[in-house]
Amino acid sequence: MSTTQRFDGILDPELMQQQSVVIVGVGAVGNNLARIIGAMNPGELTLIDNDIVEIENVGPQMYCECSIGKNKVDACSEDIPYNGAIHCLPYKAPSPKTDAALRDATCVFMCVDSMEARGKIIDRIGELPDCKDGIVIDTRMGAETYQIWDARSLAWARNMFTDAESLPEACNARSTPWCATMCASHAAFYWSQWLRKEEMPSQIIHDLRTNEVVPVG
């Protein structure tokens, strides 16, 4: 019996064991995504985030109040249904501590909250020698919209902008657990498409309020 037997016919478990997944940022999207990826049972799973859990993280990021004050990577790892060892790196990426994980990853999920951080991560991956030829998936989320990007596509590079150019959102209308969960699920599915060598758009935009999903590219 296997923990993945209900979807072994969709994703080859032997292929999954060859995967090394890194999730950079375990906030609203990343915390949910880590649970899904853990249940998919890749060969390796690494979590990178230098933040700690605070009271405002409990609702939208789905942490327990008992986790307040803990490193997010440690709190996140406690709830992941994963049979292997989870590598928790409470550091800012990119950094010397995170370089090895980024270099060896077959999939990197960027679940960070600034455009500057996204640019630094993708630049660092490009600089590291002997990086695996994997996929980098960028997730972006508002209160009730989300985007998923292939961060190695030309479309992603053309649509980078500064944090100053980002649209401001009210502090009490910035992040919701329902949008975070949907974004995480869609990001995991996007990765599964890549693993199955299916045709994929370079960008997906989902507006929950209109229920419109727009694949681009």
Which residues in the chain come in under a pLDDT of 70?
163-174, 217
Predicted pLDDT at 170: 47
In sequence order, the 6+-apart residues with CB closer than 8 A to the CB of 55 are: 65, 68
pLDDT at residue number 167: 55
Q: Please give the pLDDT value at position 214.
A: 82
Task: Please check whether residue 143 is in contact with residue 173, taking contact to mean a CB–CB distance below 8 angstroms.
Answer: yes
Residue 44's pLDDT is 96
Question: What is the C-alpha to C-alpha distance for residues 140 and 148, in angstroms, rounded to an integer?
Answer: 6
CATH of domain 13-162+170-216: 3.40.50.720
Q: Which helix (H) or strand (E) holds 193?
A: helix 177-195
pLDDT of residue 25: 97
Question: What integer pLDDT is reported at residue 4 of this predicted model?
Answer: 93
**Coil, helix or strand at residue 52:** strand
Helix (H) or strand (E) holding 146: strand 145-150
Answer yes or no: pTM beyond 0.85.
yes
Q: What is the pLDDT of residues 81-99, one digit of tens each?
A: 998 889 999 998 888 889 9
Residue 166 pLDDT: 63
